[in-house]
Structure 1
Amino acid sequence: MKGLYYKLGENAAEAKFVIQETNVSSAQGNHQVKVQVKACALSPLDIQLDEDLKFQRDLVPVGREVAGIVLQVGPKVTFFQPDDEVVGILPMDTEMSGLCDTIIIDEHNLVQKPEKLSWVEAAGTIRDGLRAYTALHTLARMAAGHTLLVLDGASPFGVLAIQLAHHHGVKVLASALSPEDQKFLEQLRPSVARVVGIWDAKVDLVDSCLEETGGLGVDIVIDSGVRLHEEQEDQCLLPYKHDIITLLGVGGHWVTTENNLQLDPPDSHSLFLKAASLSFLNDEIWGASSAHQGRYLHILKDIMDKLSTGTFRPQLQDPVPLYEATVSMEMVQKKQVRKRLVIQL
């Protein structure tokens, strides 16, 4: 069975994405279903996380957000029947690429796809929707009346975070990394109360946020990476960690995607004085414990419901065919694509 994989080399320079035949077991368990894949979204691989979890494999499957049709169900499957349209995320330890013609997946990793949604919409939204829910509901405890700052608001994840927050009565501020991003975010009004164009050297992120909140600071910050030292000129569009702490309000929540964040004692003391909290956004955590399985499926179902009602309006590239998957994934991994890219099978 052919699929897209990341082939590890002796060093990072030798690693590459390849489409190749693999011998994946087709044995179907009691609670597993066989799905014919119709669309698969591409997201950057976190190779370091793969190594941290000690997955010993030379081929890392690529493409885990899938949508398709159920072909066959195991004897103890209760959620689905053949011909059901489903969408879900393959677990981290899967041996199958989501770009295989058919996949075997546990029923507890899937939800029903609403009929009115296209395959591309469903597959392209499920991951960023899960990240938005994890950041805002699970970690930040978002509530109506809060003020939220979404850094890099024009990213696929940022757009869904803005839409989810606005739906729940949250005032949203968003940063733009380029004039094009700023123009796009301005068009999202009234979902976005203010766009801060940090691409412009004359614009100060901290001053803009404090001005918008009357000097009180924002309740929630979601970053897209953090500059640990002011000298990191190559990351000049990333906020400096001290700036984020400065613009955070009393009792605020900082949700970070920076897995190597280092806080100095003065930073920790500032957070202490504000009784503020820091959380790390890792949406893979839902697969770490079966105790969260029910809540996880509820989130996936709600994402599909919000997509079908128009609450979520994802930023998707035009779907591309399977033969362009290797080149497309290289662009995704290098973060050269601003919209979510989906392969249509």
Structure 2
Amino acid sequence: MKFYNTAASRMRGVYLSYVPASSEGGKRKLEARIEEHVMLPALEANDVTVQIKACGLSRIDTKTVLQVVPNVDQIPVGNEISGVITKVGDAVKMFSVGDEVTGILPLDSECPGCAEYCVLPEHFLVSKPVSLSHADCAAGLGSGLRAYTAFHTQVPVVPGNIVLITGAASADGVVMIQWCEYLGAKVIAAVNSPKEAEILQKLQPSLLRVIDLSGSQSIVDICLQETGGLGVHCVIDNGASASFYLSDFLIDSATLKQQLEQEPLRYTYETDPSPPLSPTSHQIGSLLAARGHWVSSQPDLQLDPPLSQTLYLKGASLHFMFPAVWTLSGAQLGSYLGVLEQVLKHMEDGVIKPYIYKSVGLGEVCQELVKLGSYGTGKIVMKIETRS
């Protein structure tokens, strides 16, 4: 590891770093902070150095990152980047100094996207179209990859299908809706508040139905009503709620109850005022049509026997949404670059129109990470004018 002389000595980047436990025997916590002197990895033969112009902010699945890269002291923040190449390795063939590029950093990247520079292999990048801004690429590339993964590699959506999308007012949800409509599918969108419903209906007026999960009407009843009792062909969830909760049980042991209530690791940047509303796994199973498809973003999803029996009787299939698998498998990298290029082509053609809720500077990233999840709609994008 070393500093690059080509970059200013005061290199800055954002990381989730461990902070000491507040009490003896407490768990370590992760806190977002700006490091003023970021150490860049040495440039390997196939690596490039990218001057970051924009980076999309997304919730960090810290549990998965720590499984892929265990025993790390800090986690880089930001992976949907767009910028300009300032240096190339000896074996780089795809790009030259000065090329504008965009891409998604892999989970095991040493460099954060929320920084002035980053170093990564060339095969994680594609050329940025001239007609698209750096901010648009950073806002739409990751969501577009999720949509492609769902509708082209997991679920065969055809014109006329009815798709339920939960968390539909999120940045990913908006792009999912746009991709569904491009494929000719009809969309039922589930949101968490009347305000989200109002915003989404203005953005996507062609929706079949918008369901406010904070209301009293059952999502199962609404979906069955809209489909004539047949159920929806596909569900794209933004996480599923448990079908039962700790409060449903009587636990005599105070120690056991405390252990069950506390996660193994709490993160100070995850101080959401309240978790977003989500349908339960049993509700999703009940509203699926025969031979329906369920694409879940819930990594710890558990199917109890009654739910499993419901899915079995319907001949339904369950898929898991984990777009990072594209970069974790070397065999997928060739196809992966083609997918990113197709996503950018859809953005050029207006099929995908990412909605940027707000733009922030590098110094504001830490405070915005705490708020992620409380915004109704759109993407937060870090924009930076890096010193040359």
Q: Same fold (TM over 0.5)?
A: yes
- The equivalent residue for 2:236 is 222
Q: Which 10-residue stretch deviates more, 68-77 or 8-17?
A: 8-17
Q: Does residue 312 of structure 2 align to residue 272 of structure 1?
A: yes
Identity %: 37
Q: Which 10-residue stretch deviates more, 1-10 or 17-26?
A: 17-26
CA distance in structure 2 between the aligned counterparts of 1:230 and 1:56, rounded to whole angstroms: 33
C-alpha change, 1:4 and 1:196, in structure 2 (3 Å) is same
- The equivalent residue for 2:219 is 205
**Contact 1:149–1:174 (8 Å) recurs in 2:** yes
CA displacement at 1:180 relative to structure 2 = 1.0
Helix, strand or coil at the partner of 2:324: helix
**Contact 2:356–2:380 (8 Å) recurs in 1:** yes
- The equivalent residue for 2:66 is 51
CA displacement at 1:119 relative to structure 2 = 1.1
- The equivalent residue for 2:31 is 16
- The equivalent residue for 1:75 is 90
CA displacement at 1:285 relative to structure 2 = 1.0
CA distance in structure 2 between the aligned counterparts of 1:325 and 1:236, rounded to whole angstroms: 22
Greater radius of gyration (CA): 2
Of 136, 146, 159, the match for 1:121: 136
CA distance in structure 2 between the aligned counterparts of 1:101 and 1:189, rounded to whole angstroms: 35
1:52-201 matched pairs, under 5 angstroms = 52-201=67-216
C-alpha change, 1:189 and 1:89, in structure 2 (3 Å) is closer
- The equivalent residue for 1:4 is 14
C-alpha change, 1:232 and 1:157, in structure 2 (3 Å) is farther
- The equivalent residue for 2:6 is none
CA distance in structure 1 between the aligned counterparts of 2:139 and 2:69, rounded to whole angstroms: 28
CA distance in structure 1 between the aligned counterparts of 2:66 and 2:120, rounded to whole angstroms: 23
1:30-45 matched pairs, under 5 angstroms = 30-45=45-60
C-alpha change, 1:142 and 1:232, in structure 2 (3 Å) is farther
Letter in 2 for 1:259: P
- The equivalent residue for 2:7 is none
Give structure 2 stretches of 5+ with no counterpart: 1-10, 22-26, 248-273
CA distance in structure 2 between the aligned counterparts of 1:14 and 1:228, rounded to whole angstroms: 25
CA distance in structure 1 between the aligned counterparts of 2:142 and 2:109, rounded to whole angstroms: 16
CA distance in structure 2 between the aligned counterparts of 1:235 and 1:342, rounded to whole angstroms: 22
C-alpha change, 1:103 and 1:166, in structure 2 (3 Å) is same
**Contact 1:185–1:192 (8 Å) recurs in 2:** no
C-alpha change, 1:93 and 1:118, in structure 2 (3 Å) is same
CA displacement at 1:23 relative to structure 2 = 5.3
Letter in 2 for 1:121: D
Give structure 1 stretches of 5+ with no counterpart: none
RMSD over equivalenced CA pairs, Å: 1.9
Q: Which 10-residue stretch deviates more, 184-193 or 111-120?
A: 184-193
Q: Which 10-residue stretch deviates more, 259-268 or 129-138?
A: 129-138
**Contact 2:47–2:119 (8 Å) recurs in 1:** yes
CA distance in structure 2 between the aligned counterparts of 1:205 and 1:77, rounded to whole angstroms: 52
Letter in 1 for 2:302: Q
Of 335, 338, 347, the match for 1:295: 335
CA displacement at 1:72 relative to structure 2 = 2.3
**Contact 1:251–1:277 (8 Å) recurs in 2:** yes
Alignment TM-score, normalising by the size of structure 1:
0.93
CA displacement at 1:52 relative to structure 2 = 1.9
Q: Does residue 379 of structure 2 align to residue 340 of structure 1?
A: yes
1:228-267 matched pairs, under 5 angstroms = 228-231=242-245, 237-267=277-307
**Contact 2:123–2:337 (8 Å) recurs in 1:** yes
**Contact 1:42–1:340 (8 Å) recurs in 2:** yes
- How many residues are matched? 342
Letter in 2 for 1:222: I
C-alpha change, 1:54 and 1:67, in structure 2 (3 Å) is closer
CA displacement at 1:244 relative to structure 2 = 0.6
CA distance in structure 1 between the aligned counterparts of 2:302 and 2:142, rounded to whole angstroms: 27
C-alpha change, 1:139 and 1:120, in structure 2 (3 Å) is same
